[in-house]
Amino acid sequence: MQNETNEFTGVFNFTNPTKQERKYLWNNKEYIFAPESTTPLIIPSETLDNLQEIRKRFAYRMAEERMYEGEKVYGRDGKTVVFDYNKAKLAGNGLPPTFDPKILEPMIEECLTPLTVKKSVVKEGQKLDDERKYKATKAGFTSSPAELFKEDENRDVLGQMPDK
């Protein structure tokens, strides 16, 4: 982020210029960006170099989504249509059109240019073990753990270090 004197403040921003909320996953966390806003992208576990890369990947994903949703890709002048996915799809008789990723650069630049600053929402991603329903059994008052698990041949004797 830059202040009035164009000095870097140490915070990178991410802009969602679209009219809908956008969500992107990074390191099992979902980053949710409010529509038509700029959000400081803060990931404490990442270096500044990595934050720049993450920011660019989010921007590329958003540009691709926008293109596939049918939004026309305009040139840097903002008026010339560079690529129209729906028109290209019709011209190809339903075959998916191919394109040069460089045409997405104006859309990517929009994500890196600040708008009104708003707060992002970060939710914890679903962990693998959240899907499983674990059930435990409780040992009775007269049962010892050694008796309950005596059929386990590979267990170590309680209280002794293994010789392995």
pLDDT at 134: 54
Q: Give the residue-averaged pLDDT of 124-150.
A: 60
Q: Is 55 helix (H, G, I), strand (E, B) or coil?
A: helix
The pLDDT of residue 98:
78
**Cβ atoms within 10 Å of 35's Cβ, excluding its own:** 12
pTM, whole model, 2 decimals? Answer: 0.61
How many CB atoms sit inside 10 A of residue 125's CB?
12
pLDDT band for position 11 (cuts 50, 70, 90): confident
Interval 74-88: pLDDT, tens: 877 778 887 888 888
- Other Cβ atoms less than 10 A from the Cβ of 66: the count is 21
Angle at 77 between CA 74 and CA 78, to 5 degrees: 45
- 31 close to 54: Cβ distance less than 8 angstroms: no
